[in-house]
Amino acid sequence: MLNTDNPGLFRLVLGSMRYRMFNFMASIIILLILSAILEGHKYGYLVINIASTIVFVLGIYAAGRNKRSVIILIILGLPWFLSEWIFTKSPETIFASVLFFLFITGTITDHILHSEKVSTDTLYGAVCVFLLLGLLWASIYGFLEYVSPGIIFVNNNAEAVNLLTTNEIIYYSYTTLTTLGYGDITALTSEGRIISVLEAIVGQLFIAFLVARLVAIYTANALRRKSDL
């Protein structure tokens, strides 16, 4: 039984649950910024890994709606999490990160679609899904490039081919997701092109379905309130 003798602590726990989507969203944005700034700097990896740990924990906290989902998230995310700290990346750990981001994205999306009202938690959750889509595809690109270097990307600078960093892959993923397509990093192979096209399609469809769903929820609640009058 939950002990509520300490109302201050109780309110703190409830507050953190109310804003868990916001906390998760903020942690992803901070991680992306720190990764861009600190990659390659001495001891920068330490700060980035700490930020990754926070994303990992807050992601489980945000998406873990029940015991089963929490266990699945931990099982899928732990190999990726540990590999970041002990520098033992392998096709298996990178693939585990793909599954982790896929599951957490699906779980939060399901939460949004089944929400009965448009709340700040719903909106922050939608932003989290969009950010996670970029990371999910970046993980897919990273996995394929790790298994078979050059299978996806060709940089306009011939000397930089096969030397793409994690940040550059993330950069490519988000420019594709938002259909910006600056062209400084391109997918030349047929495999890379189809995966990039799928990411661009998913990004646009997500926005379309999200707007439609939020409008539907808002309209249903408005009609319900009107009928109660």
pTM score over 0.85: no
pLDDT of residue 25: 94
The secondary structure element, H or E, covering residue 155 is strand 153-155
Residue 196 lies in a domain: yes
Whole-angstrom Cα distance, residue 141 to residue 155? 14
Q: Which of 67, 68, 220, 51 is nearest to 135 (CA)?
A: 51
Q: Which of 142, 188, 140 is nearest to 167 (CA)?
A: 142
Quote the tokens at residue 127: 């932003």
Which residues are within 8 A (CB) of 138 and not within 5 positions of it... i.e. 6 or more apart?
166, 169, 170, 172, 173, 174
Residue 2 lies in a domain: no
Residue 173 lies in a domain: yes
pLDDT of residue 162: 52
As a whole number of angstroms, the longest Cα–Cα distance in the chain is: 69
Q: Which residues of the chain fall below pLDDT 50?
A: 1-7, 9-15, 156-161
Residue 39 pairs in a beta bridge with none
pLDDT of residue 113: 83
Residue 181 lies in a domain: yes
pLDDT of residue 180: 87
Residue 124 lies in a domain: yes
- How many distinct structural domains can be found in the chain? 1
pLDDT of residue 229: 61
SS3 101: helix
Tokens 């700290």: give the residue: 85
Residue 113 lies in a domain: yes
Residue 1 lies in a domain: no
Range of the domain at 136: 7-228
Residue 102 lies in a domain: yes
Q: Give the CATH number, domain containing residue 181.
A: 1.10.287.70
pLDDT of residue 167: 87
